[in-house]
Amino acid sequence: MRFVLFAALLLTLQASCFDSPHPSDAALESVFRNHQADFELLLSMSRADSKVMRIAPDFTWLVDDASWPRPEDKLGFSEERWNQYRELFRKLSLQSGLLTYRDQGTTYFLASSKGLVTGGSGKGYVYSEKELIPVSSSLDDISTETLKSSSNGMVYKKIGGNWYLFYDAH
């Protein structure tokens, strides 16, 4: 899972600015609170499109095929559906789209990524059917100690129900 999330974040680095910080927890939480219904819609859409693992503004990964480009009939859904995803990504400032791990019951909504293969980080939202750990009260200034407590370099902040913010240091 970690490798795929890492790869997903790396594929969108061209769109990110290396010098700009990730959005603050407060900014992300504000977007979530103001648009929770849109996040729920994206979650529902991605669940319905069960053959698609990764949906970005400019590519898709199928559960059994990450090759790109693929013919339009092998996107995993229609062009019209993809445009609906793209519109929601723009509205919610999800520069990198989403990534679903059905076997783990998690969907990551990728708001920000920066860095290189040798090191970087990502931040965004995650819906999880089970409790995620470690949880921190803030992801704005993650300490080295907090990251060390994570087995996969990810730290979470619960924002309500099954929804979290995530910070990924890779």
pLDDT at 120: 83
Under-50 pLDDT residues of the chain: 12-17
Strand partners, 106: 101, 128
pLDDT at 144: 66
What is the total count of domains within the chain? 1
Positive or negative, the CA dihedral 144, 150, 156, 158 is: negative
Q: Around Cβ 44, how many Cβ atoms within 10 Å?
A: 10
pLDDT at 14: 41
pLDDT at 23: 96
pTM: 0.85
Structural domain containing residue 29:
2-169
24 DSSP 8-state letter: P
